Amino acid sequence: MSAEAILEGLGVSRETRERLELLAALLAKWNPKINLVSNSTLAHVWTRHIADSAQIYGLAPASARTWIDLGSGGGFPGLVIGALAAQFNPDLELTLVESDQRKCAFLATASREMGIRTTVLPRRIETLTPGARDIISARALAALPKLLELAAPLAGPDTIALFPKGADAASELTSAARDWHIRHRAHPSATDPNAVILEILEFRRGPLERA
């Protein structure tokens, strides 16, 4: 599915599109200096990064009030989430976590110029104060077992985790199930036929009980 079709399906406004266009321009300006995304993907930024991130927002409940994006890096999905939330959920408390100070500078600058509400934390994920958030996201950060370990202190009984995964999603789920009970849905990616978005509805220590 094209980037245009994904954004149209979400019903994004002209103002939201302008925010996303500004993000694309800022990425092109900053990327040569601090390598926010792979240079080979810049020519396809709308599909590979913007639309790919936008579809994650489409899986979140409209009632979400707190969202934390782990390892925000070049702003995907975090800055795209912020742009969409400005239109659809302006009260959303969005936190972007990134340990690289230069990338944090980009995230803060882009948030300001895009006119979106974010809190940028220049921290390692392991040092975050525990506490449940409604939504946890992470894109291209780590394999699923590590993601669950990082996310566990930030999750409560109603937390939903949204993790895009590639062709190895099934094997990552199998590996994670050795140590975690996981209840999930796998949504086909609209931008990559070999990828899915894992919607983790429940995860806790201990493998899945079998009858």
List binding-site positions for S-adenosyl-L-methionine.
71, 76, 125-126, 139
Q: What is the DSSP string of 84-124?
A: HHHHH-TT-EEEEE-S-HHHHHHHHHHHHHHT---EEE-S-
* Contact yes or no for 97/123 (Cβ under 8 A): yes
> 3-class DSSP state for residue 196?
strand
List binding-site positions.
71, 76, 125-126, 139
Distance CA 153, CA 15 (A): 36
Distance CA 202, CA 161 (A): 8
* Contact yes or no for 70/97 (Cβ under 8 A): yes
Query: Prior bond to 32 cis, omega within 30?
Result: no
